[in-house]
A and B are shown apart, each in its own frame.
Chain A
């Protein structure tokens, strides 16, 4: 047994860690043990990838490519391959992962199990939209091959299935064509939420990638709208990536109302000053934090929460304004407040997070009751708006809000693997 924590570092419960590294051995590894949960690269914030006092199946040893057809862009790989490995392999060959989250240090299995989304949801949907086949291994020893056409019900349960339907051993992904690693980008400052929504509406037709940084201490909702399109410029040298590590865990969170205010002010004005068009490398545009290893330590030993919700577009502006009001009132919040619109498409997975609307994501240092009370108020706004909270980022939502937000939950329950359980499944599904 050893302590393992997720990205939010809220606690480090003890786990019996078993490494899955040989596909031929997984069947006997997962059948002969008490209930476990798959753990990819641990980039989920809360307990979706944890199983306190139970078994954790580490999947990063399943890191092999199986085949890649350069003419069709079909990639088959094991579930523990990191998205970064894929991007670095295929982009020079003219292909790219259609959808990636804000960090590429996640595994294929983790990307499927949370049906992750990126900055281009309005164009290409979520990760699961591009998965053609999954090989799923159940703890009873049965293998299920599923995809959008074959065993489509298993596929819909497993995409966004929070690791609860079985172990994803390998997957086939359809990649997209791309000219090269560069993007033409544009940064536009906005002064309030009304402007944000106007920018979002205007940009979605012409820009593949859109996302905005928000000053969460400013109740009007000022921020910076960033948009990008792939470009075929190619006469640029590859940027040298410099890796920095947050060297220590500071005794207290370095994120406090004062530092936050200073940072947000400086960030807004610096970026505003340099706003406009630019050419950016895909790694710095998509994954700005990946070169600062272990930045999650900045929140100190108590860790932090991320709160990410999505609310329908028609009530989006009011709900977002109400949430920002609550956050600004108690001077909480983060450097990283992100606001983005999701497109009009239904997700593949029964428990997929993305749905048409607007999504807000913020980090909060863990400050006990004070943080919980803020979350209760935010929950109320989300519930009222008919929205939902993202399980990949969650460590505390109440069960009733989960049930309200995910109407296909009872349908999903039929596909659960009885040999699998996580902190999150016990908290939100009772077992």
Chain B
């Protein structure tokens, strides 16, 4: 098994992550560890991947996603099983902005699951990767993290934290064997966003986004917007002066 690509996915039941996994096992044998919160849901993803790629090794682990000790133990256990080549941290949940404003518990939960939790996982993996001086760590951020907007700034704030964190990690691992990749998807059609279909811009499919993520990881591109047009859109949004930005209903 030593030549087999070893990949770990945190939040493996997320639609994007799952499509990445399907691409990774396509026609190849990989050693894949799926980490999720709910055994039944992760097992469903694993069973599907085993049918797609009987020759691959598909392992399943569950963990608490908010407890630092549980996160540390989960990551240590996975790392103890051998050198990890790629980690994809993909979990998240899209809260209603109004609910976050009304209910501080919802607000805190949204900040923790979209911001704190990915950072803790990444930090735990970073420790092992720095010991081996190798590996690729990919984090899924969001265009929502580029500038706070009234329609989803709590989610955006958490994703902004991931962005800033990834920048720091990229700086830390510059000139080492470790690659840190930040992927910022635009609105993507997933079960998390079905209620938004038809309300905003046309959404990218989770499959297409996954294809771009897998490509970015293969090529070692460090900062990726998918679809690419979002790089331009966000460049403009980030630089709009407040006087204009504040008039926009976005």
Residues of A within 8 A of B (CB): 2-3, 17-19, 21-24, 58, 61, 64-68, 70, 77, 89
- Residue numbers in B under 8 Å from A24 (CB-CB): 40-41
Interface size class of B (residues with CB under 8 A): 10 to 19
Q: Whole-angstrom distance between the alpha carbons of A66 and B51 in the complex?
A: 7
Cβ contact within 8 Å between A22 and B194:
no
- Residue numbers in A under 8 Å from B198 (CB-CB): 2-3
- Residue numbers in B under 8 Å from A21 (CB-CB): 191
Residues of B within 8 A of A (CB): 40-41, 44-45, 47-48, 51-52, 54, 191, 194, 197-198
Cβ contact within 8 Å between A64 and B191:
no
- Residue numbers in A under 8 Å from B41 (CB-CB): 22, 24
> Of all chain A residues, which has the CB nearest B193?
A19
14 interchain pairs (CB within 8 A)?
A17-B194, A17-B197, A22-B191, A23-B44, A24-B40, A64-B45, A65-B47, A65-B48, A65-B51, A66-B48, A66-B51, A67-B47, A67-B51, A89-B52
Tally the A-B contacts, defined by beta carbons under 8 Å.
34
- Residue numbers in A under 8 Å from B40 (CB-CB): 24
> Of all chain B residues, which has the CB nearest A68?
B51
Contact of B48 (CB < 8 Å), options: A17, A61, A64, A70: A64
- Residue numbers in B under 8 Å from A17 (CB-CB): 194, 197
- Residue numbers in B under 8 Å from A65 (CB-CB): 47-48, 51-52
Q: A19-B194, A21-B191, A22-B41 are in contact. List 4 more A-B contacts (CB 8 A).
A: A2-B197, A17-B197, A19-B191, A64-B44
Cβ contact within 8 Å between A70 and B54:
yes
Question: In whole Å, how far is A52's beta carbon from the nearest beta carbon of chain B?
Answer: 16
- Residue numbers in B under 8 Å from A67 (CB-CB): 47, 51
- Residue numbers in B under 8 Å from A64 (CB-CB): 44-45, 47-48
Cβ contact within 8 Å between B197 and A66:
no
Q: Whole-angstrom distance between the alpha carbons of A67 and B44 in the complex?
A: 11
- Residue numbers in B under 8 Å from A68 (CB-CB): 51
Q: Whole-angstrom distance between the alpha carbons of A22 and B36 in the complex?
A: 15
- Residue numbers in A under 8 Å from B191 (CB-CB): 19, 21-22, 61
Cβ contact within 8 Å between B47 and A66:
yes
Q: Whole-angstrom distance between the alpha carbons of A312 and B194 in the complex?
A: 45
Q: Whole-angstrom distance between the alpha carbons of A24 and B41 in the complex?
A: 9
- Residue numbers in A under 8 Å from B47 (CB-CB): 64-67
- Residue numbers in A under 8 Å from B54 (CB-CB): 70
Q: Whole-angstrom distance between the alpha carbons of A396 and B194 in the complex?
A: 31
Q: Whole-angstrom distance between the alpha carbons of A3 and B198 in the complex?
A: 8
- Residue numbers in A under 8 Å from B45 (CB-CB): 64
Q: Whole-angstrom distance between the alpha carbons of A420 and B47 in the complex?
A: 31
Question: Which 3 A-B residue pairs are closest in the complex by CB-CB distance?
Answer: A65-B51, A2-B198, A64-B48
